[in-house]
Amino acid sequence: MTQENHIIDTQLPLELDFKSLKAEGLAYIQKHSSTEWSNLNPSDPGVTILEQLCYAFTELGYCANFSMKDILTQKNGDLTVENQFYVPQDILTTSPITIEDYTKYIIDQIPSVKNVIIKPIPVNFSFVNGLYEVYLVRDSKYNDPTVIDSSETETFYLLNSCRNLGELFLTPQILAPKTYTITGKLQLESGYDINTILPEMIQTINNYIFPEVTQTGYDKLKIEGETTNEIFNGPTLKNGWISSESIQPKKDTIQSFEITKLIQDIEGVQSISGISFTYKNKPCDIATCDEDQILTFDFAASFSTNTNVSNLQISTQGKQLNASLNTSLIDELANLQQSDSQLNEVAAVQLAPILPEGKFRDITSYYSIQQTFPEAYAVGPNAVNENTPDFQVAQSRQLKGYLSLFDQMLSNQFAQLANIDKLFSFKNSSTGTPADLENYNNLKTAQEKTTPKYTAPFEVFSPTYFYQSLYKSVPNVEPLLRNNDIFNFGPVSQSETALAHQNWLQYQDDPYNSYMYGLLVFTEKDTVNLQRRNDLLDHLLARHGESPLVIDTLIYGTIYSGDVLKDAVIIKSLYLQNLRVLSYNKTKAYNEIGAKKLYTGIVEITPEIIEELSKREIPKTQTEKEIDLTNIATLKADEVIEYLAIKSTKKELQNIITKTYKTKGVFDTAYVNEVQKVSAQDCLDYAMISIKLSMLLTLRPFYINFIEVSVDPENTPETHSEVITQFPSALVCQQIEVALWMITQRKGVIAIETNLLLQSGSFTVFIQEDTLSKTYYRIDTILNYLDFMSLSTQLAIMTSDDNIADYLKNIEPTYTLVKIESNTITDAVFTPIENTAYAWTANISWNNENTVYITDALFENTLLWVFPNFIKEISAPEWQQRLSYFTESQLSIQLEATALYGNATQLTTLIPLYAAWYNANIYNAETESIDSSTIISNAGNIIAQLKKLKTTPTDV
């Protein structure tokens, strides 16, 4: 039977149906011009024009029906994705948040770790978001006695690189094996090889005790019915995704019947009976272990024939096989089989959906309706020549001028469709006529691009309407354009034809000619464009789960441009460009032991330095750059940090003094995008909430504006709280120094986790016996942070029947109570222990200095933010209300933050202490250690300074 191919006559959509479009047009004419326009036959010129327009509309409709992947495909065949879409594996994943997330991340990132147990330790303090014990199962392939604690160390550093605010992970431990042997009788079926069955048996039992976590691909999980949200729920994994069902708990108790069932289900096993366990030569029916142990079975010992009766007797067809077993290879074979199964799975992993492939469509290219008119209309490419009478030329141009209005509107519609990627881009566009700008740049030499004739051709701020010139599409359009003869001059010897040709080329080359400027003015209206762009960005925010109303509340005000709506567009665009990083790391803290070190000093700024930096920058020669690199190579690590800090601070100050947010009269979107881009290093150096705060609450522009005003010789005394007697005064220079340190080293805010400060403290615990005499005791042991946390948890579960002294002895034998006088703890606030007659408190000290009670208001919150109070915008009540709303809306519900404000003198004292403490926490690869002595001394001094800031007025 042959297949018949034929066209089915179906109703086309209106935008593709020429007849329907024409009918709509004729109906409109009859409705509005029936008395003036009576001839609607094809012979009427007006109907001919209508037909040509309808035909052009079908082309526009045809292009508008292209698939989105075709519209977004570039000339080189690439799909426009960057700053346009976030692919699922980028926007749906997050840095580890839950215990399950951390489990997946460790198994994926550290090859030597086969499985993980993360156990939360109950805590009762608001400054601690989570305290965790971590136990590892090491892959037997990595049991190298020459490598000490590699799995534990790798895991510890990995957890610190992705920990969340207020969390603390204890140093991981390898689960200690608790080994049993198996006794019983195992009968194999005929024809089965014992050396094949035994590895499978060992693997099955091991996997039952602690199920192996398997990694697989996106495509396989989709086939299995997992949704995209479920697959990408959690951290980004490099070796395959892990389903939640794959993560199962460790079994700490196994009974003999469970082992019997497991072995019986293995192919080739005929029967299994009499199964029991032996531990240290003592028989038992149940195998158990503690939470820090893992059950293991010594199969080599179980199969051993060194005793009179084998522990596990293996036979087939009545023949004993124990003596023929190569027990030394059994465990190795089991491990190899297990690893190969996972390797085969990972080898075929497809981690993400494949991006669609589109076909490039040259939508921008426009074919004028004047090209298709009958020759009698004289509007085509060869309609007139030098012999055409003037009146006919005038008639042709008059009609062309009328038709060119339609051509311009149609051409602009094609441009709008072709640039839909720019319309919905996270980045603000810089021109409404990209095609003309591209053509303009393509004609320029390298030298002409370096020194352009026109400062900013075609550039405006964030257009939402796109247009293009008719230079190439409409035939003989030159005479119709205003001031088309502006370049009609040249040498006397030049012919009129050559002069006209040169005039036309120069006119097209001028981006500010009357025609292009007219298009710009009529197409771009700032108030309309800004509102449209703001609405588009709100749509994009909402598509990514961000509330535009919340963002509007946070960013309200103007700091970049002087226009509230324009500033909203700038900040929303920045936020969307960085949303992948901000979203992925939204709860993450900074990498306490792996961040980049800070400069512990403050770069001195003097009037002479300001004057020197205010001069025009002279680009460095290659020789000078090489000298800089040579100098750095000769410096020690701390000297390099100082050298780079001074260099970057002075460069920042120079940029502030000599540059603005505008370039060539247009807001420099590219510069702001680059400066505010969140880098991979930022994710290590900062808590992500601090970067988000800096971006949405515009900290950097506040500092820049303050410095610009401060270095202005015409600055009035009212700008600062102090009276300036000379410019700049010592206090103003000090404020500039602090401001520069804040933006170059900390993005405008010093963020301190209370939890980290307390880790290095020494804790003394006091007990109050609630009797008439109010008896007070002190535990005669100084506790470290972890012991204190453990004790606080134990006190919280104490009952009324417990005697405090005995209760403490059961926790730790060295916890002895010593009676003290009440006047030694007059400032202490005691916390009652529920359902008991006791209350307790504790103080913390660092090297027996800077003692403070655990109930101090400074420790009520997880996070402390420190700002300068000499910047009037940050001290303003409106900004502080925005900060309060930011804290409520952006911080996780279990976290709280407190804002502290200090003057220049206070921050000049705090900054070196903070930087030295911050640096001391960072792991030193050379010494393989942490500088604990510096941590302890500076943590106490920081606490003392922060307590002073709490009493400092905000609006100083």
- Residues 565-623 have pLDDT tens digits of 999 999 999 999 999 999 999 999 999 888 999 999 999 999 888 888 887 666 666 66
Q: Are 677 and 578 in contact (CB under 8 A)?
A: yes
Residue 535 DSSP SS3: helix
The mean pLDDT value for 925-950 works out to 83
Task: Give yes or no for residue 520 having a pLDDT over 80.
Answer: yes
pLDDT grade for 199, boundaries at 50, 70 and 90:
confident
Task: Give yes or no for residue 332 having a pLDDT over 80.
Answer: no
Task: Give yes or no for residue 152 having a pLDDT over 70.
Answer: yes
The order of strands in the sheet holding 863-868 is 750-753, 863-868, 897-902
**What are the φ and ψ backbone dihedral angles of 807, each rounded to 5 degrees?**
-60, -45
The mean pLDDT value for 809-830 works out to 90
The mean pLDDT value for 407-430 works out to 94
Q: What Rg value do the Cα atoms of the chain yield, rounded?
A: 38
Mean pLDDT of the chain: 87
Which of 667, 115, 52 lies closest to 380, judged by CA? 52
Could you tell me whether strands 293-297 and 176-188 are parallel, antiparallel, or unpaired per DSSP bridges?
parallel
d(CA 33, CA 681): 68
Q: Hey, where are the domains in the chain? A: 14-65, 175-211+248-350, 372-524, 578-748, 749-956
The mean pLDDT value for 744-754 works out to 95
Task: Give yes or no for residue 436 having a pLDDT over 80.
Answer: yes
User: Can you read off the two tokens belonging to residue 333?
Assistant: 């074979």
Name residue 138's amino acid: R
Task: Give yes or no for residue 126 having a pLDDT over 70.
Answer: yes
Burial of 457 (0-12, 13-18, 19+ CB in 10 A): buried
How many of the other CB atoms lie within 10 Å of CB of 203? 19
Give the least confident one: 343-352, 444-453, 829-838, 881-890. Answer: 343-352
| H helix intervals, 351-389 | none
Q: What is the pLDDT of residues 459-501, one digit of tens each?
A: 888 999 999 999 999 999 999 999 998 888 877 777 888 888 8
Which pLDDT score is estimated for 96? 95
Could you give the dihedral angle defined by the CA atoms of residues 622, 627, 628 and 631, in that order, rounded to the nearest 10 degrees?
160
Which of 185, 449, 126 lies closest to 320, judged by CA? 185
Q: Is the Cα torsion angle 797, 800, 804, 810 positive or negative in sign?
A: negative
Which pLDDT score is estimated for 717? 44
- What is the number of H-type helices and E-type strands within the chain? 37, 23
Q: Are 763 and 91 in contact (CB under 8 A)?
A: no
| First-last CA distance in the chain | 93
Residue 388 DSSP SS3: coil
Which of 87, 234, 106, 98 lies closest to 161, judged by CA? 106
pLDDT grade for 719, boundaries at 50, 70 and 90:
very low
Which pLDDT score is estimated for 326? 61
Name residue 36's amino acid: E
- Give the residue, 125 or 321, on which the prediction is more confident: 125
Percent of the chain whose predicted confidence (pLDDT) is above 70: 91
How many of the other CB atoms lie within 10 Å of CB of 856? 16
pTM over 0.75: yes
Task: Give yes or no for residue 423 having a pLDDT over 90.
Answer: yes
The mean pLDDT value for 208-230 works out to 91
Which of 183, 185, 132, 175 lies closest to 151, judged by CA? 175
Task: Give yes or no for residue 716 having a pLDDT over 50.
Answer: no
Which pLDDT score is estimated for 104? 95
Q: Are 95 and 235 in contact (CB under 8 A)?
A: yes
Which pLDDT score is estimated for 849? 87
Q: What is the pLDDT of residues 382-417, one digit of tens each?
A: 888 888 899 999 999 999 999 999 999 999 999 999
User: Can you read off the two tokens belonging to residue 939?
Assistant: 């943590």
Task: Give yes or no for residue 309 having a pLDDT over 80.
Answer: no
Which pLDDT score is estimated for 824? 86
Q: CA dist 317 to 190, 760, 817, Å?
A: 7, 68, 71
d(CA 670, CA 496): 44
Task: Give yes or no for residue 700 having a pLDDT over 90.
Answer: yes
Give the least confident one: 54-58, 707-711, 817-821, 928-932. Answer: 928-932
Task: Give yes or no for residue 310 having a pLDDT over 60.
Answer: no
Look at the chain and count its residues. 956
d(CA 26, CA 29): 5
d(CA 397, CA 476): 9
Which pLDDT score is estimated for 715? 52
Give the least confident one: 21-30, 367-376, 425-434, 719-728. Answer: 719-728
